[in-house]
Amino acid sequence: MAKKKSKKAAEKQAAQATATGPVGKVKELIQFFEESKVEIKKVVWPTRKETISTCVAVLVVSVVIALYLGVVDLALSKVVEAILS
């Protein structure tokens, strides 16, 4: 038994059929930018203080991880050197 198409699916298919060619693509592009503009207005951007504090946190975590990996690498290289010599 074939399923009936929903109204939205039928409208989407009809829109795709009429959106062929360069004119249809330009209309799609314009619609995309209009929808993007609406979505950008909904964004809550962080304050300067929030941005600085998160950047500092990222830098601190990066340095701590780099130091940890450096120490582990040094220890493992000494272990391998001791085994091979």
32 has a pLDDT exceeding 80 = yes
- Structure confidence at residue 57 (pLDDT): 98
**SS3 assignment for 32-56:** HHHHHHHHHHHCCCCCHHHHHHHHH
Distance CA 36, CA 83 (A): 60
DSSP 3-state of 28: helix
Domain ranges in the chain are 8-43, 45-85
The tokens of 71 are what? Answer: 């120490």
pLDDT band at 23 (very low <50, low <70, confident <90, very high): confident
2 has a pLDDT exceeding 80 = no
Asked whether the beta carbons of 19 and 26 are under 8 A apart, the reply is no
What pTM does this model have?
0.54
Distance CA 67, CA 61 (A): 10
